[in-house]
Amino acid sequence: MDKIQGIITYINGPVIKAKNMEMFKMREMVTVGEKRLIGEIISIDGDIGTVQVYEETTGLKIGEKIDSTGKPLSVKLGPGIIGNIFDGIQRPLNFIYEKSGGFISEGIGLASIDLTKKWDVTVLVKEGDTVKEGSVFATVKETPLITHKLMIPPGINGKIVYAEKNGTYDLEEVLLKIDDGKTVHDIKMYQEWPVRTPRPVKERMPIEKPLITGQRVIDTFFPVAKGGTAAIPGGFGTGKTMTQHQLAKWSDADIIVYIGCGERGNEMTEVLEDFPKLIDPNSNLPLMNRTILIANTSNMPVAAREASIYTGITIAEYFRDMGYNVAIMADSTSRWAEALREISGRLEEMPAEEGYPAYLPSRLAEFYERAGYVTTLGDDEASVTIIGAVSPAGGDFSEPVTQNTKRFVGAFLGLDKKLAYARHYPAINWLSSYSGYLASLNSWYRNNVSEDMMNLRGEMLRVLQEESKLLEIVKLVGEDVLPDEQRLILEIAKLIKIGYLQQNAYHKDDTYVPLNKQYRMLKVIKLFYEHANEVIKKGIPISKIKSSQLYNDILKMKYSIPNDYKDEFDNFENQIITYFDSLIEAYEG
């Protein structure tokens, strides 16, 4: 019998309709037309099916055929993912480059990881063993940094009736046969998984550990948790991408999945050029060894932009299932929402707010829900952390994507235009940002940094809040009329803002600062504040404090004291104490 084919009756950009589709399945992957473009069925109504196409439809004609692939839009998960760069439907961009040159053409066909590549496999099980879903049966050293654990795919449990020995295999070779009592399953080095379905876990666990990023304003003031979610909204040029790149470079995740979703081509090229040269502070190996890139740039087909988010999160979940802590960055989720809007518009669906479809909030929720700290099927503790950039229209946070994202994320790192204009980077606004993880992370900070870390944080944040109130007054009357105690608050706030919150991503040491240095820096500021306060209470004028060399030294301690400091902070603290003691002595004496 001939395969059933759909017949195209309607073409409107990435959205096409076809008749004769009653045998097709919702969300099935199909090939479209003579060029065999890749598409996905997004609705079926009687015998009419609607397909979103992941490649340009230029040249497509009415009457061309649609073929079933028999499976939903899926990714192939196995060795060869790390260090690679894929398009929105997991086709390696290097493969596309080889096939179509520097410019991407349509009709490339399906491709994913290289199935013919051979890997050294260490097999951990033998014939007769009983295995269950999610358990690790073999390992492959995928990069010098990452051991790729080959797992029994979800849903398969049983007895091994055949097992290969250690050796070199390609991805298509059968390594195990498992008899589950009804069927015998062939297990290879890779598994396939539909991108829109979350991969199962054993159970979700409470959040307790921070994702350490080396960025002071995040780690100290608005921490993101491993397994948590964060949004970085901001107008153009405020630093979303820079912040995401900083997190991709320095955060203490085992695996990074970076999705360039509808953003600039050069930003992906930058990662490709820089990451192989950057050294991970934890492992001393190039960062590319733990990084996976997904790129659907702004000028690539819009439907694949929609898919890229799911491709990314599915890959992240797969590495989580091996027991790794994975962090995923999506830049920008607004472009994904706009892709939803564009497709929805072409489907002539009823728009809700600002033309976005009514299902925008539920799609956002589903995405962020795929983050979490979990026990895997293989009984490991692991996590997926999601950090999404949001690009609000007009820089206005009241628009639907920002507002709906805010409902579903745990930390909100709002970027501020005014700070960016003054080149205060990272331009994270300390008054409007928040982290909902403070309470859950409190004891971690207590046990791993210092008893008083979170208290210090609170005090310094209060200084900043106080400053903002005082600045309202200063705007009307000038600084000179404030009493010295209040002027001191302004000066301390300046120390915090310039000396602490500002962090130069281009400075070789300041780009990443370990937690203990963050803590010591904060303590220095606190110490200075306490002593200065005492001195002012004694009536010593504030000019003595501002003009002291120490004040300037604090502003620059981030550069002058190395990350692997020895006694520099102790000395600094002693200097502060000595300076103020002698100031009081001179004044009283």
Partner 1 sequence: MNIIKEYMQLDKIEGPLIVLSGVDNAAYDEIVEIKTNSGTKHGKVVQLHNDKAIVQVFETTSGMSVKDVSVRFTGSPLEINLSKDILGRVFNGIGEPIDDGGEIFGGVKMDVNGRPINPVARRYPRNFIQTGISAIDGLTTLIRGQKLPIFSGNGLPHNQIAAQIVRQAKISEEEGQDFAVVFAAMGVKHDDAHYFLKAFEESGVLERVVMFLNLADDPVVERIITPRCALTAAEYLAFNHNMHILVIMTDITSYCEALREISSAREEVPGRKGYPGYLYSDLASLYERAGMMEDSSGSITQIPILTMPNDDITHPIPDLTGYITEGQIVLSREIFQRNIYPPINILPSLSRLMKDGIGEGYTRDDHPAVSSQVFSSYSRVQEVIALSQVIGEDELSDIDKKYLEFGKAFEEKFLKQDFDENRNINETLELAWEILSILPKSELDRIDSKTIDAHYRG
Ligand X SMILES: Nc1ncnc2c1ncn2[C@@H]1O[C@H](COP(=O)(O)OP(=O)(O)OP(=O)(O)O)[C@@H](O)[C@H]1O
- Tell whether 537 is in a known binding site: no
Looking at residue 508, what DSSP letter applies?
A: T
Stretch that binds ligand X, among 202-210, 234-242, 249-257, 286-294 (CB under 6 A): 234-242
With contacts defined by CB under 6 A, name the span among 49-57, 237-245, 371-379, 430-438 that binds ligand X: 237-245
Whether residue 237 is annotated as binding a ligand: the answer is yes
Write out the H or E segment, with its range, that includes residue 416.
none
End-to-end CA distance of the chain: 106
CB nearer to ligand X: pick between 138 and 217? 217
Choose the binding region for ligand X from 229-237, 300-308, 370-378, 400-408 (rule: CB under 6 A).
229-237
Contacting residue, 239, 260, 388, 392, with ligand X by CB under 6 A: 239
Among 96, 205, 242, 347, binds ligand X (CB under 6 A): 242
Q: If binding is defined by CB under 5 A, does position 57 make contact with Mg ion? A: no
Beta-carbon contacts of residue 418 (< 8 Å; ≥ 6 apart): none
Segment lying near ligand X (by CB under 6 A), choices 84-92, 283-291, 403-411, 499-507 = 499-507
**Minimum distance from CB of 555 to partner 1 (Å)?**
5
> By C-alpha distance, which of 147, 179, 487, 572 is closest to 323?
147
391 part of the interface to ligand X, by CB under 6 A: yes
Say whether 511 counts as a known binding-site residue: no
Residues 6+ apart with CB under 8 A from 543: none
Contact with ligand X (CB under 6 A): which of 76, 149, 240, 290?
Answer: 240
Q: Is 236 annotated as a binding residue?
A: yes
* Residues in contact with ligand X, shown as a per-residue x/- string from 46 to 85 under the rule CB under 6 A: ----------------------------------------
Residue 30 CB partners (closer than 8 Å, separation 6+)? 6, 24, 38, 39, 40, 41, 51, 66, 67, 68, 69
| Of the residues 96, 505, 527, 584, which one makes contact with ligand X according to CB under 6 A | 505
Nearest CB to partner 1, comparing residues 166 and 543: 543
Cβ contact 89:38 at 8 Å = yes
In the numeric block, the tokens 């803590």 are attached to 519
In angstroms, give the least distance from the CB of 251 to partner 1.
21
Q: Is 478 labelled as part of a ligand binding site?
A: no
Establish if 236 lies at the interface with ligand X (CB under 6 A).
Answer: yes
> Was 408 annotated as part of a binding site?
no
Neighbours of 361 (CB within 10 A): 19
Q: Helix or strand or coil: residue 59?
A: coil
Q: Is 241 in the site for ligand X (CB under 6 A)?
A: yes
* Smallest separation, CB 262 to Mg ion (Å): 10
Burial readout 461-480 (b: 16 or more C-beta within 10 A, e: otherwise):
bebbeebeebeeebeeeeee
Minimum separation from the CB atom of position 263 to ligand X (A) = 6
| The one-letter amino acid at 445 | Y
Give the pairing type, strands 255-261 and 291-296. parallel
Q: Which of ligand X, partner 1, Mg ion, none does residue 475 bind (CB under 5 to 8 Å by kind)?
A: partner 1
CB 274 within 8 A of CB 268: no
> Which residues, 415 to 434, sit near ligand X by CB under 6 A?
425-426
| Residue 322 vs 420, nearer CB to ligand X | 420
CB-CB contact of 561 with 515 (8 Å): no
To the nearest whole angstrom, how small is the minimum distance from the Cβ of residue 239 to Mg ion? 8
Give which of partner 1, ligand X, Mg ion, none residue 581 binds (C-beta under 5 to 8 Å, depending on kind): none
- The residue (of 16 and 225) whose beta carbon lies closer to partner 1 is 16
Q: Is 241 among the annotated ligand-binding positions?
A: yes
Judged by DSSP in three states, 48 sits in strand
Min. distance of Cβ 242 from ligand X in angstroms? 3
Decide whether 141 or 363 has the Cβ nearer to partner 1. Answer: 363
Report whether 234 belongs to an annotated binding site: yes
CA dihedral in degrees (229, 523, 502, 505; nearest 10)?
Answer: -70
Q: How far apart are CA 236 and CA 533, in angstroms?
A: 40
Nearest approach, Cβ of residue 390 and Mg ion (Å): 11
Q: Which is nearer to ligand X, 240 or 487 (CB)?
A: 240
46: CB partners within 8 A, 6+ apart: 22
> Which DSSP helix (H) or strand (E) runs through 456?
helix 453-477
Return the number of the residue (247 or 463) whose C-beta is nearest ligand X.
Answer: 247
- Cα 256 from Cα 386, distance rounded (Å): 10
Q: Which range touches ligand X (CB under 6 A), out of 141-149, 463-471, 503-511, 554-562?
A: 503-511
Distance CA 271, CA 277 (A): 10
Q: Per-residue x/- mask for Mg ion, residues 217 to 256, rule CB under 5 A?
A: -----------------------xx---------------
The CA–CA distances, whole Å, from 87 to 113, 300, 357, 521 equal 12, 9, 25, 42
Shortest Cβ distance from residue 330 to Mg ion (Å)? 12
Binding test (CB under 6 A) with ligand X, winner from 109, 154, 194, 237: 237
426 binds, among ligand X, Mg ion, partner 1, none (CB under 5 to 8 A by kind): ligand X
Could you say which residues in the range 560-579 bind ligand X, by CB under 6 A? none
CB of 500 to Mg ion, least distance (A): 25
Indicate which of ligand X, partner 1, Mg ion, none lies near residue 302 (CB less than 5 to 8 Å, by partner kind): partner 1
| Phi and psi based region of residue 202 (left: phi greater than 0; alpha: psi -120 to 50; beta: remaining) | alpha
- Bridge-based pairing of strands 136-141 and 130-131 is unpaired
DSSP string across 115-182: TT-EEEEEE---TT-EE-TT-EEEEEE-SSS-EEEEEPPTT--EEEEEEPPSEEEETTS--EEEE-SS
Q: Pick between residue 84 and residue 391 the one whose CB is nearest to ligand X.
A: 391
What residue is closest to Mg ion based on CB? 241
- Alpha carbon 171 to its chain's center: 29
- By the rule CB under 6 A, 335 interacts with ligand X: no
Interacting residues toward Mg ion by CB under 5 A: 240-241
Q: Which residue ranges make up the annotated binding site? A: 234-241
- Binding residues for ligand X, rule: CB under 6 A, are 234, 236-242, 263, 391, 425-426, 504-506
Cite the annotated binding site for ATP by residue number: 234-241
